[in-house]
Structures are given as C-alpha cells and as structure tokens.
Chains A and B, each alone.
Chain A
Amino acid sequence: MRLVKSTLCLLVACAALQGESILIRNATVLTVSKGTIEKGSVLVVDGKITAVGRNISAPAGATVIDGTGKFLSPGLIDCHSHTAVEGGVNEGSLSDTSMVNIRDVLDPLDINIYRALAGGLTVSNVLHGSANAIGGQTIVIKLRWGKRAKDLIFEGATPGIKFALGENPKRQGYPSDLFSGGQAAERRYPGTRLGVEDEIREDFTQAKIYQAKWKLYNEQVAKGEHPIPPRKDLRLEPLVEVLEGKRYVHAHSYRADEILALIRTADEMGFKIRTFQHVLEGYKVAKEIAAHGAGASTFSDWYGYKYEVIDATPYNAAIMTRKGVVVSLNSDSDELQRHLNWDAAKTIRYGGMTEDQALAMVTLNPAKQLGIDDKVGSIEVGKSGDLVLYDKHPLSNYSRVLKVWIDGTQYFDRDQDLKDRVQLAARKKELLDKEKAAEDAAKRQNGPGGRGSGGKPTGPPEKKPDTPNPGPPKPELKEAAR
C-alpha cells in the first residue's frame, strides 16, 4: 500500500515536472500533412500533441491561448544551417576532415539561435562548411534557447556528415604567401571535380579496409589469439557509419554533372546520399536524384554569387517536387533563417505550389530528409509540441511570429520580448555608466595624461588563452560555406 502511494506521488510529481498542458484554441491550424482547420484547436500535454481538431476542452490546469484570428503552424525546420558553431565552421585544412564534429563546438549562447526562434524556426541541421570534399560530422538541434549545448541536440535524430562538390573543395588552398608570412604552402589535392570524386572514392576505400581490419581483429580475439588492436581512427569511423547507414550524407552541390558523378560514386562504394544541398541545377537531374532516394535542399531564389550557380532558376524547387524529389528550402544564413516561411511562399509564385506544398518545404520535407518526420514537421497527434503562432498567414510577408513552443515549452513570446528589451537596455546602460565612472576615477587618480587602470602601454589586448584565432571575418567563411 505504501509502495502504491509513493508510486502515485512519484507519478504526480513527474507530471508536474514534465510541464503543463497547453491548449491553443480557435486558430487557423495549418497542419501541413492534413490540411487546414479553421477555428481549430491543438492540445499539447507533456510536450506532445495529444489532440488536433475543432472542439477540444482544456484539461484542468491547462494554459489556454486564444488563437482567434491567428495562425498556427508546425515549427519551421532548416536543413542547412551554420548557426551556433564556435571557432569556425570549416576545418578546411585537409580534403577529408571527417574526424571533426560540429557537436563538439555547439555554442548555445549564440544570439542567432534566439533570433531564428523569433522567426519560427525550431529545428536546424547544423552543418560543417564546404571547404573540402568530406567535411565534418553534423548534428540536428532543437533551438532550445537558454539551455546547454547538450540539451540542444535533437534526441534520436540521425547525425550526418558534410560532403562538398565543385568549386570549394577543388580549391587547392589560398594564395598562401598572403597569409603565411611569405611561405608557399604545399597545395591541397584535389584541384578538379574529377579529383573530388577520386578523393571520396579513396576515402571510402580506406574506410572499407579499416572496417575489415577491425573485423579481422575481433575474429582473432574470438579465437583466443592476442593481436594488437588496430588504431581507432576518428576520420574513418564516420565513413564506416555512412557505409552502415548509421550516418546521413549531406552533399553540397550545384552542377548537374557533379550531382550525377556523386550518385555514381555512391553506388559504386555502396552508400546513400541523404540530401543534396543547394543543388541549384537539381531541376536538370531530378529524376536521377529521386531514383537514388536522395532529398534536395535548395534556395528559393538565391543565386548569382559565383560562376557554378550560373544556371539556377527559382523554379528549381517546384520542378524537383513534380519529378518526385522531397524538396526543402534552407537558409545557410543567420539572417535568412529568420523568415524561411516567406521563402516558402516564393514557390507559389515560382512554380505554382499549393500552400501545403510550400509550407512542407520548410516543415515536413526537411523533417523527412533528416529522418525525424515521425517526431516533427506537421501538426499531428503524437508529434512534438513544436508550434508557431502568427498574427497573419505565415506565407504572407506581413506575418509576424507571436509565440513559439518547442516540446510544449514556450521559448519565444513577442510581448515578453518587447518588455525584456527595456530591461536589457537599462542593464546595459548601468554597466556602461559604471565602466565610465571607473575610467574617470582612474584618470583623476593618475592625473591628466595619466594611464588608465591596469592597462598595457602598447600592443593589442592579450589574447584569451582558449579561443582559436579569430581567422578571417565571417563573410569569407560564409562564402566558402555556401
């Protein structure tokens, strides 16, 4: 009896801990997967959607949000982001850097997370840059602003790895005399698209040898022999995972020929490409992409920034969709990720997509591409309570995000944000004034022309011991990443 009692108490406590129920009622509910419900309601209990429909009554203690005149969509998903990465998005030193992992350098305090959240984004596929043929390991995050790095990671989402084709990975390095004190550095292989394919083929060949080495070792151990264990190689392990289907390949690509070449290499080496990223000439080879089973994550109308994107069209997303490819629209940008819904709207203008098709490109389709469509991407019973409330239809560029929930927890509220801004500005002024006062006091103390307090006479401020060199300014990194 006592046991039953304590178990009951525990259950009650758990329910209280896991969060409350939220009922958003009387809104236009854009489910994406099952059409639009006018004057609909959505109930979220313990982080999961438990009811979607017209007449849902609020359970006791539920928070009720009046959605009258407002629009509710699933949380937006960005299949190509470089937000919240500390210390460089590219490990571009080698042509295969699959040993590096974005997971290691997530920065949960990157303000761009909050800004993206304010645009309705709830999930991001955070990728390594495109400086090399095989870049680093990637990670899917939920934009749980205020939480720690480990709590951003999307539980159960398959991790990925970045591949890159074309101009960026075939760069053989930079005119290094400009950057290494007059030293000409040894150039990086490859220098052509052929070389990029060769590099990938070579790396997978090594991965297979590595796989075989470990298999042999394990067999020898099983037989009671005493072999020396092979070295655990962080570069080859993720490629073995790709071969075993445990890690997704997200391949940066533009031109039709390089897309086909990678499909051939993948078929030859026995792995699958999960998504082609950017894929601006995807409309030319959409059937082949669909046949391989790959998704395409592209821009709505962003092109003209380099030669290899010369043959782009804003109809790309619509054409690929009609040829049977699962298509998403991504941001690749801290700015664009704040209004992916407006990018989705462009596919209605360019290509005549339906509203549901357009919204799916920034919700359900990227969820499918990332293998998380059983958990997010649409407003359905059983999925996570990742929801966005807008004042107008999200496909209108007059729409504004009012509230955002992830797993039923509110992470953004426009009214609260406006209030917070006043407080933050006051705090900032307070700190600046204090600093100024201390400076003035030091000046008075040291007399006119005296030194400030504790500063150094010459030279730049001492570098912090734990951050890597700032490297090139962000735009350059972005350029390489695009």
Chain B
Amino acid sequence: MNNARVFAFWAVLLGALALQAEVPSAVAIKDARVVTVSGAELPKATVLLRNGLIEDVGPNLTMPADAWVIDGAGLTVYPGFFNAMSTWGIPDAAPAPGASGRAAAPATPATPAPRVRGPEDRPQNYSYERAADLVKPTDRRLEGARSLGFTTSATFPNRGIFTGLGAVVDLAGDRGGNMVVRQPIGEEIVLRGGGFRSGYPGSLMGLFAYVRQMYLDLDQYQQAKQTYAAHMSGTPRPPYDHYLEGLLESPRILLPASEAQQIDRVLAFSIELKQPAVLYGLHEAFNRIDELKQANLPVLVNLHWPEKPREADPADVPELRQLELRAKAPSVPSLLSKAGVKFALYSEGADQPADIKKQVKKAIDAGLSKADAIRALTLSPAEIYGVADRLGSVDKGKIANLVVTKGDAFEEKTTVEYVFVDGELFKPTKLAPAGGPGGAGGGPGGAPSPPQNTTGAHRDNADDLDLSSPNRTEGGNN
C-alpha cells in the first residue's frame, strides 16, 4: 500500500467532509443502557464491536486492549433502525429539489411510443430490475437517514407497476455492493396507473387485470419449462421471458392497501395470486384489524400520516371519513401491536429525517409503546425480510448496526450521539427542522448539495477511490 496516497486520502477526507468516520479495530460502548430488542433490556452493559459485527454484549465484559472505548454512561444503545420500505440508496429515486413524493417517471423519449397492446407487452414492467444493482452510497439522503439512527433499509426500485426486486441494504459502504445484506427480498407492486388517457393499464381494474395476467403467465411459464425439460425432443421450445424471470425470483410480493376496502381487496387478491404477500400503506387499517389478524400476513405501515392539505380551501369541509382517517391513522401501529399482527414501519424516502422522527412520535402518542415502536423499526422488519439472523437486535454475532442516543429514541429532546453501520462509526449531523428546507443530506426543497462520500474510511479500499474527486466517486446528482 502506498502510504503517501493513504495520507493524501485522509487529508482530503478530513478536510472535505463534515462527518467524521473512523474505524478502529474494535469499539466498546461501555456501561450503557442496551435495548437489545430480542431480549430484556440491559440497564448497564457493554457492547463490543469488531470486524463489522457485534462481538459481544453483556454487563461484565473484559475490555480488549485494542478497543476504542466510548463511555456509555447516560447513553442508550439500540439496534440500528430499519426502514421497512423505501428507495433509500437509489440516488435516482431521490426526489428532485422542490418536488415531493416518489421521483417522477423518466422523461418520455422523443419518438412516440407504440401503443401497448395489452399485458403481453409488459407495460411499465421492471420486475427484473434489482435494487442491489442500483444502490450507491452517494444517495444524498443517506446521511440524513443515518443521522436519525437509520442504518438499514428494505430498498425497492421505484419505476413502473412491477417496480423490481428489493434488497435489504445497509446505509453506508464504499460501493453499492458492500451495502447489500440480502437480495432479492421481494417484488414491489404499485397499483397506480397513468389515468384514463394513458396507455394500458389506465384504470385500477386494468392494474388488477394486468397483475393477475402476469401471475397466470408465470404459472404457464413454469409449466412450459417443466414440460419442455422433460420432453425436449419433439416439443416446440417455449420463449424466454425476462419479466417473468423477475417474478420467478421474488420470494414475496408487496401490495399496496391503505383504505379499508383496499385492504379487503388486496387480502383476497394475495390469496388468489398464491404468493406470499406483504401489505403496505394501511392508514385505514383501524377498521380492519380483525381481518388482518386473521389473514396472518405481515404489514408495513406508512409513516406519512394523512394530514390536512396545506393549501386547503378554508371553505372546503372534508368528508367525515377523511377526518376520521386523519385522526386515527397514527393509532394503527398501536392497534396492530395489540392484536398481535406482525408489522413494521416505513417511510418511502421523500420525508425529511426530522419529519420521520415526528411521525414515529405521533404513533407513540397514539398508543404505541416505545418498545413496540423500536421493534417495528428493528427486529420486525428484519423478521419480515428473513434477515433476523443478522440484523434487528443487539446480539452477539449480528451485524454491528447500532444507534446510540441520549434519551429515549424519537423523543423530541433526544439526540443521536453515534451511529454504527457495519461497525463503522458515524457522528450524526444536526437534523434540519421538521418540514424545513434543505436539511441533512439535501432533501426535497433544499438546494442540491453534492453527494458526500461518508464511507471512504475503509483504509483497505482507499486505493479504489478516485482521490481527485472524493465527493463524486459514483455519479453525481440525478
């Protein structure tokens, strides 16, 4: 290794970056309160991290000589928070400055697209696209997410109706591939079309017919493959279908259902499709708790609570159902928890970290216990996506994703002191005020700040970085 280059790298890094990121061989957080999530809370214990993993947790650990020691007195250690569904990590999915919601569809090409003839043309279908191939540490939202204590996300691509294959990713790494924990974890389906004048599908019923046809085609595809494999001679060869291959690989589907009738509809649909399903949205689930309990499916609750539109016409009196929805949606996590429904919380990716903090607090104020809130942001999503053996709790052998706070997480006065992603330490930046412009990581409404390489601290990989432009190692703004 070229020492001069390493020195130059560190000089650039320390000079250019607001964040401090350092990786000693071992870190011990000593005498902290540890919320393990998997077991009882430890009032005074030490967490020892090494090689990106949790080496040990307990009240009376012998401190290795090489460990950096953080005095945990007055601090609380949680597992790193896990956003159960978002686009975090996909730089192109970040909302454009000033915009909100998911990123707009890519601009239409100059030549008119030929009219779609039906489901067989696979419109708006990116079923094969992998979040694992799209995530990059340069997503400018990651710093803000980490600053709130998020270390992990179930990230899904965000184009089209069949959006692609998601991945569980850690929210730091020196390249995309290092972020991926597990993939593929599921196919996200978005039941949102172009409207009456668009091509097929242009209605909700068109979307349902399309999704149904895809899974019928999948059945036939598998059957055809089997038949062909057994009787190749004399059987015409079935075609290869990229889109069905995407579905074939997915261990589960994620289906949207927010309003009560949508929950009924999608529960029935998931049974019809014979696919393991996860429902997301769930804002009106306060009217469907029994049904969800009976269905025995995991659900993801959208933290973006419905609110009075900011530009509401004062003369416009909303319908009672809308008012009930606004009043009761934040109580959904608490109701699910009491009913024993497996659930996790998610923020799609457009919200500011400070907003997410308030949104979680709202659910707690509406009856969700703090312990259940933490579980819904740690171990529950890990269980839903089959990574609970590696993530979601402070246990020996798990990935060293931790958040260390002063005060209970998500309380207003609480501050995040340290965040560890794969054992790597991040000091959080100050959160922008809720709803404020800009903010850490340059969110919606803020000026586009250059993506910051917050992860260049792996000395082993310093040679791989483009030192001439430490801020832009993997693509710039979208």
Contact = CB atoms under 8 A, between A and B. Distances in A.
A102 interface: yes
Interface string A103-116: 01111110100000
A455 B205 contact: no
B200 A434 contact: no
Interface string A166-208: 0000000110100111011111100000000000000000000
A229 B208 contact: no
B445 A176 contact: no
A92 B201 CA distance: 9
A229 B305 CA distance: 47
A92 B213 contact: no
A106 B205 CA distance: 9
Nearest to B311: A460
Interface residues of B, number: 93
Interface string A439-461: 10000000000011111111111
B5 interface: no
Given A456-B444, A468-B193, A104 B265 contact: yes
A283 B281 CA distance: 52
A456 to B, nearest CB: 6
A456 B100 contact: yes
Interface string A384-417: 0000000000000000000000000000000000
Given A180-B108, A464-B281, A469-B194, A90 B203 contact: yes
B205 A462 contact: no
A454 B358 contact: yes
A466 B227 contact: no
A479 to B, nearest CB: 11
B177 interface: no
A332 to B, nearest CB: 17
Q: Is the interface of B mostly helix, strand, loop or mixed?
A: loop
A227 B209 CA distance: 27
A312 to B, nearest CB: 27
A94 B203 CA distance: 12
Contacts, number: 266
A87 B320 contact: no
A260 interface: no
A431 B118 contact: no
Contact of B307 (A431, A455, A457): A455
A149 interface: yes
Interface string B83-112: 000000000000000111110000010001
Given A424-B320, A462-B304, A452 B310 contact: yes
Interface string A223-252: 000111111111100000000000000000
Interface in A274-326: none
A432 interface: yes
A264 B195 CA distance: 34
A228 B209 contact: no
A187 B281 CA distance: 36
A468 B191 contact: yes
Contacts of B205: 85, 87-88, 91, 100-102, 104-105, 128, 136
Contacts of B100: 456, 458-462
B29 interface: no
A457 B200 contact: no
B204 A87 contact: yes
A228 B116 contact: no
Contacts of B307: 454-455, 461
Contact of A468 (B192, B309, B436): B192
A263 interface: no
A88 B355 CA distance: 33
A334 interface: no
Among A93, A136, A186, A471, find the residue whose CB has the most chain B CB atoms closer than 10 A.
A93
A266 interface: no
B198 interface: yes
B201 A91 contact: yes
Interface size range on A against B: 35 or more
Interface string B207-227: 111001100110110011001
A148 interface: yes
Contacts of B293: none
Contact of A459 (B113, B190, B321, B444): B444
Given A149-B261, A431-B323, A462-B350, A92 B202 contact: yes
B116 A93 contact: yes
B433 interface: yes
A438 B100 CA distance: 24
Contacts of B311: 460
B264 interface: yes
Contact of B265 (A149, A180, A476): A149
A301 B119 CA distance: 41
Contacts of B117: 94
Interface string B32-54: 00000000000000000000000
Contact of A431 (B209, B259, B320, B359): B320
Contact of A461 (B269, B310, B362): B310
A86 B195 contact: no
A467 B193 CA distance: 8
A85 B112 CA distance: 31
B281 A226 contact: no
B160 interface: no
Contact of B326 (A183, A231, A234, A435): A435
B413 interface: no
B433 A451 contact: yes
Of residues B102, B209, B217, B236, which shows the largest number of chain A Cβ atoms within 10 Å of its Cβ?
Answer: B209
A2 interface: no
A465 B192 contact: yes
B348 A465 contact: yes
B206 interface: yes
A94 B198 CA distance: 10
Given A181-B108, A468-B204, A228 B236 contact: yes
B15 interface: no
A33 B5 CA distance: 97
Contacts of B208: 100-101, 104-105
B59 to A, nearest CB: 39
B195 A468 contact: yes
B10 interface: no
B202 A91 contact: yes
Contacts of A62: none
B223 A100 contact: no
Contacts of A91: 200-203, 205-206, 209
Nearest to A226: B231
Contacts of A101: 205, 208-209
B261 A231 contact: no
B466 interface: no
B213 A99 contact: yes
A419 interface: no
Contacts of B262: 466
Interface in B229-288: 230-231, 235-236, 238, 256-262, 264-265, 268-269, 280-281, 283
A56 interface: no
Interface string A143-183: 00000111000000000000000000000011010011101
A427 interface: yes
Given A234-B216, A460-B100, 15 more contacts: A87-B204, A88-B202, A91-B202, A93-B200, A100-B205, A128-B205, A185-B115, A230-B220, A231-B220, A232-B220, A434-B327, A435-B308, A458-B444, A467-B259, A468-B207
26 contacts: A87-B203, A88-B203, A88-B206, A93-B116, A93-B201, A97-B209, A99-B119, A109-B260, A136-B205, A226-B227, A230-B220, A231-B217, A234-B119, A439-B308, A453-B358, A456-B435, A460-B100, A461-B310, A465-B102, A466-B256, A466-B258, A466-B281, A468-B195, A469-B193, A469-B195, A471-B202
Interface of B: 98-102, 108, 112-119, 190-209, 212-213, 216-217, 219-220, 223-224, 227-228, 230-231, 235-236, 238, 256-262, 264-265, 268-269, 280-281, 283, 302, 304-311, 317, 319-321, 323-324, 326-327, 348, 350, 355, 358-359, 362, 433-437, 444-445
